[in-house]
Structure 1
């Protein structure tokens, strides 16, 4: 909600409830919330759904042993693909424009990584992966 346009007592009550859980309280307008969620939540789900579909298609075509090789990294990456479509389709629909913009950015990054690999630019690939490792500074 827009905290500035809301009843201060109601905002304080909700904040107290959230902090008691304990949760972090952030005040964002709806547009900022939707944009940021597209980056840190919605694209993660789409990526997970896509990977699950990719591997399930391989399995469907007769590669039953593919899951015998799946380890913790795969399980972590596709965990979100177990989420209910009844939850996610309305979210994707409501935030469609932001999700499409972020998806385009994500696909661009994937294409860059693909190009580095295809051209055997392993120094460039190493540099890109090291740059991605910077996420550790934000999410330990």
Structure 2
């Protein structure tokens, strides 16, 4: 794949850097909760494990990446936070039909990923 460096940095902010931040944040959230409820990890399954897999990545590698691509990462993170806030709103207000539609929309990622050529 060829693209200029600006497009590269924008795209990686969404498909790589945001995934790492999300994983780091989930790891921190659960570790903080675990301080009070040590049994929490007894309930963790493969979904949790695959979601936090990236949280095991090296901060020595990722901190400079976050610094070098901060503008694009901040934009991607802002958009991601808006989606999290939408889910929170749906849960807080019992708008489960809306959260259902959001999940259905997110399922379209399968079509995109299944259509990608794996090298």
Q: Give yes or no for TM over 0.5.
A: yes
Q: TM-score, normalised by structure 1?
A: 0.80
Residue correspondence of structure 1 range 72-83 to structure 2 within 5 A: 72-83=46-57
Once residues 111 and 45 of structure 2 are traced to their aligned partners in structure 1, the CA distance between those partners, rounded to angstroms, is: 26
- State the number of aligned residues: 114
Residue 95 of structure 2 is matched in structure 1 by 121
Once residues 59 and 126 of structure 1 are traced to their aligned partners in structure 2, the CA distance between those partners, rounded to angstroms, is: 29
| Ranges of 4+ aligned residues in structure 1 off by more than 2 Å | none
Q: Which has the larger radius of gyration?
A: 1
**Match status 1:101 vs 2:75:** yes
Residue 113 of structure 2 is matched in structure 1 by 139
Residue 104 of structure 2 is matched in structure 1 by 130
Cα deviation, 1:78-97, whole Å, max 9, x if unaligned, reads 00000000000000000000
Q: TM-score, normalised by structure 2?
A: 0.94
Deviation of 1:139 (Å):
1.1
Residue correspondence of structure 1 range 53-72 to structure 2 within 5 A: 53-60=28-35, 62-72=36-46
Stretches of structure 1 that go unaligned for 5 or more consecutive residues are 1-25
Stretches of structure 2 that go unaligned for 5 or more consecutive residues are 115-119
Which of residues 59, 79, 98 in structure 2 aligns to 1:85? 59
Cα deviation, 1:96-124, whole Å, max 9, x if unaligned, reads 00000000000001001111111101111
